[in-house]
């Protein structure tokens, strides 16, 4: 993403609506990036290549907790 990384997108989305559930999907597999995303409010942080059943489970959890 030109001019912005995923952490910045997360930060801006949470500023717009703190209640929004966000599952980060990233090619960056570094503990410090994952911890930062979770601290900023991501519901989960998944590294590519993602396991489809894991993603389905995380989406189901996010959906259930937002209702």
The full set of domains in the chain, from first to last, is 6-66 (3.40.50.2300)
pTM over 0.95: no
Longest dimension (CA), the chain: 34
| Run of H or E residues at 24 | strand 23-26
Dist. CA 20–CA 49, nearest whole Å? 24
Dist. CA 58–CA 3, nearest whole Å? 28
Please compute, for residue 41, the number of CA atoms within 13 A of its CA located in the half-sphere on the CB side: 15
Q: What is the pLDDT along the chain (67 residues), one digit of tens a residue?
A: 678 999 999 999 999 999 999 999 999 999 999 999 999 999 999 999 999 999 999 999 999 987 6
């Amino acid at each position: 993403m030109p001019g912005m990384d995923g952490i910045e997108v997360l930060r801006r989305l949470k500023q717009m609506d703190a209640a929004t559930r966000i599952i980060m999907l990233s090619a960056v597999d570094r503990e410090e990036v994952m911890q930062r995303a979770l601290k900023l409010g991501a519901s989960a942080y998944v590294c590519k290549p993602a396991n489809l059943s894991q993603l389905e489970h995380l989406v189901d959890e996010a959906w259930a907790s937002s209702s």
